[in-house]
Every structure is written in C-alpha cells, then in structure tokens.
C-alpha cells in the first residue's frame, strides 16, 4: 500500500513540475556499484557472532530537472545482497526518493519531499535510534510537504508537515506512525553572513494499543559563514515529551500468598535538551565535517529514545584521481519515556580510499570497525568489515 501511495505522489510531482516552463536543464546519472565485503559479525550479536562474505550489486539513477521556477530531484536504487554462507539472509533493498520545489509566486515557494525505502533494521535502527535489533526487513514511507513565504526581504517563514510510517516484518518489532508539524523563521542579518533561526515543532508518535508519545520542541539558533569555505550551524532548545502507554505492574497486596501482574496505564511528562551543532571547513586539498546532535527518535521496541550522536570526517585529495576518507561516530541512546533506564553505546570508525580509474569508473577499498555496548546488561559486540567497491557512472546532460 505504501509503495502505491508513493508512486502516486511521484507521478503528481512529475506532472506538477514538467509543464511549468519552456527553458529547462536536465541531468541524469545512471550508475551501478558492486561491493565485495567480509564482515566478522553480520548480525552484531553479543554472543556467537556469525561471519560471512557478502556480495552486493546496486543499480541506481539520480536525476535533476531545473527551470527558473521549478526543481525536481530524484534517486532510484535497488540493492541486491547475497551472503555466501548465510544465504537465507539474501535480500533486495529498495530506495526511492523524489523531491520537488515550485516558486508559485515571487513570495511563495512550495515543496514536497517523498521517500519509499525497504531495508534492514540492523543498520537503520542503529543510525536512527542507536539500538541493536535483530535483522528484519523494514519498510518506511515518508511525505513532507511545505510552504515558505517571504515575509520581508530578510525574513522567511516556513510551515511544513511530515508524515512517516515504519513497518517491520518480524512480529516482535512494533510498527509506528509519526506526524509532525513545524514552523520555522529564518532572518538574514545585514552582514549577509549570519542567519538567525527559530524552529517550533509538534510531533506525535503512535504505536498499536493506543500508546502515544507527544513532543513539543522549541529551538533557537542560526548559521554563520566565516568565509566561502567555512560555515557553522547551531540549533538548540528543549523537547517537552508526554508519554501515554500501557505497562505491567506487580500487585503485592496479597503477599506472601500470591503476586499478580496487572496492566496499568501510565502517563509521564519529561523535558530533555535538544542540540544540533555542525561545521564544515574546506582547504585546498582537505575538508572537515563535524557535529553533535541530541534529539528524540522512535524505535521498533515500542518506545522513544533520547539519541545523542557525535561525528567527524576528513577527506583529503592526494591527487586529482585519488581521495582518502577517515571518519568516526559515537552515539548514546537512552529510553526516554518509561521509568526504567536502558542505555546503549555505539562506535564506528571508517577508513577508505577512492581511485578514479577513468572519469566514469572508480574503485574504493575500505575498512570499518563497529562496536555496540548494552550498558544496562553489561554486554558488548564488535564487528570488522573489509570491502572493495567498483562503481561505474554515466552522466547525461540535456538543456533546452
């Protein structure tokens, strides 16, 4: 059902944009990537890890359509994964994204972002909630329409709505739906280098059985460009979270004769800080990206997590053809909505080289180390991954 809805939205965006202007700039980049990987712990399990060789083939296409008042961007990809030993884990991931913008009037800009993704809980849940979960196909659908209005020459106001739905194949995981409404104001200072930002959001995450988590977020910050090659972003504030859920409690009124377990409805309100700090700096051959974020995210375990993440990456151009990348991240995930404390740490470090054999053909060897710690249960798991990727891309450009 989600795929049908997404295709309908994609067709709507295409009809919305393609007939609005005569002069247009088209670009299309079809590509194919083959990845050969050895992974020492394919399921990131705490005990008896499984290792395997994995072969992945990913055909994809990226396109861009631009006119004076319209922009249409898209990414379409299939990723077939084959495990040499554990072939029961073979899977075809899907990733479809289409984004559109339309300048309706000189002061009004309309936008619509959509995605339909089929992948695994293993890495995606680690990236979004910091939790290690059993491997299961995961389907997510997202639609994000918005309207931006130029209140003055320097002040912009944006209203958007974000809908997302995540479904899991395994019955032990809990599907959820998220609705979010946001109001953002951006003000460009007279120095033309600093933009002040105020963002306000109302978010509701719904689980089966009437469990819900509502969040009111109020954030202030801005963006400052020190130069063409250096910019800094800061957004901070407060999330006020209200949870309403069923939980099990022990009734000891008849102790020591017997103890009963009953379902009880619990409402809990808590405030937590929000941060999103990042910077980008470029030199002649070197570039740096780093940041820190703290927010609340839904998870397949049926509750919301406080998710903090620190990351940094370096890219260095040794020659016109050879580029090196070194990056790492650390995340801390804690349960945000119930009385008990569940803490999880996750670390990863990645190093890789990318070499352009020709303008269209490249080879990328790399290595990644990952470690996950369940602090509450005093368990730890780690994985080593060595891989080689071969990529071929054929850019096509058309202008009329």
Q: In the chain, what are the domain boundaries?
A: 2-399
- Positive or negative: CA dihedral 152, 154, 155, 161: positive
Q: Which CATH number fits domain 2-399: 2.40.160, 3.30.43, 1.10.10, 3.40.50?
A: 2.40.160
What's the pLDDT at 32? 98
What values do phi and psi take at 125, rounded to 5? -70, -35
CB 347 within 8 A of CB 328: yes
Q: pLDDT by residue (tens digit) across 287-319?
A: 999 999 999 888 888 888 888 999 999 999 999
Q: Is 191 exposed, middle or buried (0-12, 13-18, 19+ CB in 10 A)?
A: exposed
> The tokens 């700096």 sit on which residue?
281
Residue 66 pairs in a beta bridge with 25, 71
Cα–Cα distance between 345 and 387 in angstroms, integer? 24
Q: Is 88 helix (H, G, I), strand (E, B) or coil?
A: helix
What's the pLDDT at 329? 94
Cα–Cα distance between 189 and 224 in angstroms, integer? 10
Q: How far from the centroid of its chain's Cα atoms is residue 183's Cα?
A: 21
Whether the predicted pLDDT of 250 surpasses 50: no
Q: Which of 32-46, 244-258, 294-308 has the highest mean pLDDT?
A: 32-46
Q: What percent of the chain has pLDDT over 90?
A: 62
pTM for the model: 0.84
What values do phi and psi take at 3, rounded to 5? -65, -40
Cα–Cα distance between 289 and 385 in angstroms, integer? 23
Q: pLDDT by residue (tens digit) across 90-113?
A: 999 999 999 999 999 999 999 999
Cα–Cα distance between 73 and 23 in angstroms, integer? 17
Q: pLDDT by residue (tens digit) across 173-229?
A: 889 999 999 999 999 999 999 999 999 999 999 988 778 889 999 999 999 999 999
């Amino acid at each position: 059902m989600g795929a049908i809805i997404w295709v309908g939205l994609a067709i709507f965006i295409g009809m919305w944009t393609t007939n609005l202007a005569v002069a247009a700039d088209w670009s299309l980049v079809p590509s194919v990537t083959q990845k050969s990987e050895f992974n020492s712990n394919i399921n990131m399990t705490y005990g008896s890890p499984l290792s395997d060789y994995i072969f992945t083939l990913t055909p994809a296409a990226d396109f861009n359509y631009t006119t004076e008042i319209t922009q249409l961007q898209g990414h379409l990809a299939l990723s077939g994964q084959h495990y040499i030993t554990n072939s029961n884990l073979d899977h075809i991931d899907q990733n479809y994204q289409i984004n559109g913008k339309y300048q309706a009037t000189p002061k009004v800009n309309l936008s619509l972002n959509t995605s339909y993704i089929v992948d695994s809980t293993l890495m995606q849940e680690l990236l979004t909630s910091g939790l290690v979960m059993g491997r299961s196909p995961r389907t997510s659908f997202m639609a994000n329409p918005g309207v931006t209005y130029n209140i003055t020459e320097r002040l912009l106001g944006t209203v958007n709505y974000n809908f997302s739905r995540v479904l899991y194949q395994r019955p032990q995981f809990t599907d959820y739906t998220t609705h979010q409404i946001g109001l953002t104001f951006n003000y460009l200072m007279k120095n033309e280098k600093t933009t002040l930002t105020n963002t306000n959001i109302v978010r509701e995450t719904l689980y089966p059985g009437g469990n819900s988590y509502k969040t009111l977020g109020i954030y202030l910050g801005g963006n400052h460009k020190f130069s063409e090659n250096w910019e800094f972003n800061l957004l901070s504030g407060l999330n006020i979270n209200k949870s309403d859920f069923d939980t099990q409690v022990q009734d000891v009124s008849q102790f020591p004769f017997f103890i009963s377990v009953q379902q009880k409805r619990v409402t809990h309100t808590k405030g937590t800080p929000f941060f999103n700090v990042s910077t980008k700096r470029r030199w002649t051959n070197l570039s740096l990206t780093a940041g820190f974020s703290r927010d609340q995210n839904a998870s397949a375990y049926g509750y919301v997590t406080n998710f903090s993440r620190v990351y940094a990456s370096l890219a260095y151009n040794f020659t016109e053809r050879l580029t090196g990348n070194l990056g790492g991240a650390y995340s801390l995930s804690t349960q945000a909505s119930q009385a008990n404390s569940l803490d999880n740490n996750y670390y990863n470090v990645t190093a890789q080289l990318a070499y352009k054999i020709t303008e269209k053909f490249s080879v990328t060897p790399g290595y990644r180390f990952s470690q996950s710690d369940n602090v509450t249960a005093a368990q730890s798991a780690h994985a080593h991954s060595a891989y080689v990727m071969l990529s071929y891309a054929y850019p096509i450009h058309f202008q009329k």
